[in-house]
Amino acid sequence: MQNDLHKEIELLQQLSDGDSAAIKSIYKQHYKSIVGWILKNGGDEQDAADICQEAVVILYEKSKNEDFRLTCKVNTYLYAVTKNLWYKRSQQERPVYSGSDDELEETIVSNYEEDINAHKERELYYDQLESALEQLGQPCSSLLRSFYYDNKSMQDIAAEHGYTNADNAKTQKYKCLSRLKKLFYGTKVK
């Protein structure tokens, strides 16, 4: 987790230096999730491309400011910026709000904070899952990663991990998953 934070700080530094590889890396890591969110919320591919570009530009401009300190992961920040940009754009296209500007601003700030908090909770959940996977050890960790992260078939996993057939690999996956659940719920922060 500490290593991830260091990588993100380094990525922001490269971004503020105008490193094109950093920009490409950010697009590569986050473009699909931004597009997916925009498409799920009534946008099209062009909207998604525009919003993604605007969000990355905002992150770039913020990274140039010496006072800017990222208090969450880049993904969380881009997600919140994306939602706010999309909300703002859809309000401009379909103005339906009849309250005061102050009320609207309060609503936007409140929604932004809720989004950040929800994303932080999700990040905590994934960090705890990662921690439990590390505690699980081998071969369970790599077997579960192959199945759930890499979407490999049980046949491929059996061959890769030296099981005699897919059924044996499936049985081992079940045992590993049971152990992971015990570890995960034992490490969960309350």
What would the pLDDT profile of 109-156 be if each residue is shown by its tens digit?
Answer: 667 777 787 788 888 888 888 888 888 889 999 999 888 888 889 999
Out of 21-35, 84-98, 127-141, 163-177, pick the least confident: 84-98
Q: What is the pLDDT of residues 36-54, one digit of tens each?
A: 888 888 888 898 889 889 9
Q: Indicate the fold that domain 120-190 takes in CATH.
A: Arc Repressor Mutant, subunit A (1.10.10)
Q: How far apart are CA 157 and CA 146, in angstroms?
A: 7
Q: How far apart are CA 112 and CA 71, in angstroms?
A: 14
CB 156 within 8 A of CB 117: no
Measured CA to CA in angstroms, residue 130 lies from 31, 116, 153 at distances of 23, 21, 22
pTM over 0.85: no
- Sorted by where each begins, the domain ranges of the chain are 1-96, 120-190
Q: Which CATH class is domain 1-96?
A: mainly alpha
Q: How far apart are CA 68 and CA 86, in angstroms?
A: 23
Cα–Cα nearest to 189, from 107, 102, 124: 124
Domains 1-96 and 120-190 share a fold: no
The mean per-residue pLDDT over the stretch 96-117 comes to 68
Instruction: Give CA 50 to chain center in angstroms.
Output: 20
